[in-house]
A and B are shown apart, each in its own frame.
Chain A
Amino acid sequence: MSTAEILGNREYKYGWVTDIESETIPRGLSEDTVRLISAKKDEPEWMLEFRLKAYRNWLTMKEPRKWPNIEYPEVDFQDMIYYSAPKQKATKASLDEVDPELLRTFEKLGIPLSEQKQLAGVAVDAVFDSVSVATTYKEKLRKVGVIFCSFSEAVREHPEIVRKYLGSVVPTNDNFYAALNSAVFSDGSFCFIPKGVRCPMELSTYFRINNSESGQFERTLIVAEESAYVSYLEGCTAPKFDRNQLHAAVVELVALDDAEIKYSTVQNWYAGDEDGKGGIYNFVTKRGKCAGRNSKISWTQVETGSAITWKYPSCILLGDNSIGEFYSVALTNHAQEADTGTKMIHLGKNTRSTIVSKGIAAGRANNSYRGLVKIMPKAENARNYTQCDSMLIGSNCSANTFPYIEVMNNTSRVEHEASTSKISEEQLFYLMQRGISQEDAVSLIINGFCKDVFLQLPMEFAVEATRLLGLKLEGAVG
């Protein structure tokens, strides 16, 4: 059996569909669609204005087709549904009022929401298609001043904070997909950690796409005030459909003086079948602003799913002495394509950034790292360290590295290291000669390769990520 075959034979276990009655709006996108979504959510005027401005920007923009190293058919933006929500009461007094079918769906995904079964130590916001269906531990968090709720609720209950920060990191005209998201986003998560508070538990959002015709456009905003700390996790899955679905999210993080935000993702959207049929187009804009002095934002991502991934979680290092980190594992198999990396924009003095990227390609997959390190004239003594490693499994896949480095002062230091390797027959034979099965041997080698990134994940997530890579690799060497 070849490595590629080991990778190939794995069934996607989240591929089922929940049978639930949904309220959807007609296909297509126009100014009326934007107004309709805003009306459905009963939004204030300023929110509608934000959306309309974004929509008008979007109309003038072009899809980024040329520069990313990915290929996919034309996306028909008029042949898509921009809002789909399970039918249920708009506001829920308690979790007991959530449709049991939805609770069952999330329980099956390993995310129990009901009071008795909630995960200890982790508060969860569960997003199903276009809406948030439940958020756990809200009251407990509220007691220490932490606001964790759906984005829609935040717009209703905390408009002053949302208005202040929304679009402050990713402007509505930032890029084609961010503009689209800003016009039609339906829900997502909102976290606010007030001054001096260390969030007592991990916050997390679980995203589930269920409807085969709709895209998911979620919006996440995390604000950490002075000296606040939060660790946030997100996970995502979708059923197996033959047609592609679009997922275009925007995530904005803001860290004030001495604040720290740790953002971890384990992405396992449906990747399409072996021939590349179906799967999610994951076109996501994630960006954090280290606005204050000594602030820190750390992105850790484990990207294993999606037919196509286009994603560059970035840091704007504005505050002096601020720190940006990006740790990434991107695994692509079969016909999957990923063009992912980061941007570290150094503006403040003594700002530091670290980039560790591990790309793994198998099957016919195409895996690219694309990263920008930009050091502006005033960012004196800025430092960056970048390490980019690729591993190839089999001989039909490819890995590419596109590093862009722009340094505009002479007191800064930038280091870049890169390597490409293959799982060798000798390595496998060595491990197998000690009694380890071929599949476990592949898993062990890959997990060793990704170790520097997994060390950054919270414990439970690290275990999940290790297991997930093992599953994805089951069936790939020889």
Chain B
Amino acid sequence: MLEIRNLHASVDGNEILKGINLTINKGEVHAIMGPNGSGKSTLAKVLAGHPSYEVTGGEVLYYGKNLLDMSPDERAREGVFMAFQYPVEVPGVSNAQFLRLAYNEKQKHLGQEELDPLEFKDLLKEKAALVEMDASFMTRSVNEGFSGGEKKRNEILQMAVLDPKLSVLDETDSGLDIDALRIVAGGVNKLHDPEKAVIVVTHYQRLLNYIVPDFVHVLSAGRIVKEGGKELALELEERGYDWLKNGANKHTAAPVAS
């Protein structure tokens, strides 16, 4: 589904990603872990097409197509979804209005039926149950006045409505108490099926107790320095990231074959 090859990216002229290679197949759940500043969130944003990040090298193929050539909205309509670490407020625009617009854009793109406000309300009700959100959230402005946990649940509600093929969860666990974490993770698990893939970006192992990854990749200083199965996450929880950081430094210092 997704093939990342030697991806380099920078922001404001500082290189953050220094050659990422990653292959993701349908049905898989991948966790990207790493210390603060290692480039985890940058990778998520580059995949979604954030305009502040400049890709300086490498390529990303999504179902064989060049993902980096697409605008953020095209990527979204093609089924790439990112759950934001800091969901943005849009005053005066109701959650339902925003979600219906987004939903219909995707339907239009896929040549499928668009829904009127009443039909959409039913769909929304069904999806909201997945993340235990009540109807009052639908008429409120997007994320305005939502608590941290409500914002994150709202992200997963959007994921449920848009039914993406590839979901990138950027630090979805940050700022969540244990109950909210359980609800959010439960929603993600219910949405997962063999046709879809999920990338979970997280600093802590905690979320991975609920969303169990098939693969764990550890990022440090813009490179993947260690890969393994779910047990790697547990090892990190125990040992921290420092032992890997040193490894990364060694790697950086090694002469580059040309």
Please report A residues at the B interface, Cβ cutoff 8 Å: 424-427, 429-438, 440-441, 444-445, 447-452, 478
Contact = CB atoms under 8 A, between A and B. Distances in A.
Contacts, number: 80
A435 B76 contact: yes
Given A429-B50, A430-B87, A433-B48, A438 B73 contact: yes
A427 B88 contact: yes
Contacts of B81: 433
Interface residues of B, number: 31
B101 interface: yes
B82 interface: yes
A90 to B, nearest CB: 49
A386 to B, nearest CB: 18
Contact of B158 (A432, A434, A445, A447): A434
Contact of B93 (A425, A426, A432, A445): A445
Contacts of A437: 73, 105
B123 interface: no
The 4 A-B pairs of least Cβ separation, nearest first, read A448-B92, A448-B93, A435-B76, A451-B92
A456 to B, nearest CB: 14
A394 B13 CA distance: 23
B73 A425 contact: no
Interface in B98-153: 98-99, 101-102, 105-106, 109, 141
Nearest to A478: B51
B77 interface: yes
A430 B88 contact: yes
Contacts of A436: 73, 101-102, 105
A435 B88 contact: no
A432 B98 contact: no
B105 A435 contact: yes
Given A434-B76, A441-B73, A448-B91, 10 more contacts: A431-B98, A431-B102, A434-B102, A435-B102, A435-B162, A436-B73, A437-B73, A445-B90, A448-B92, A451-B93
Interface of B: 48-52, 71-73, 75-77, 81-82, 84, 87-93, 98-99, 101-102, 105-106, 109, 141, 158, 162
A436 B106 CA distance: 9
Contact of B91 (A430, A431, A435, A449): A449
Contacts of B88: 424, 426-427, 429-430
Given A435-B102, A435-B109, A427 B90 contact: yes
Nearest to B103: A435
Nearest to A430: B88
A435 B106 contact: yes
B108 to A, nearest CB: 9
Contact of A433 (B76, B89, B92): B76
Contacts of B102: 431, 434-436
B51 to A, nearest CB: 6
A429 B72 contact: yes
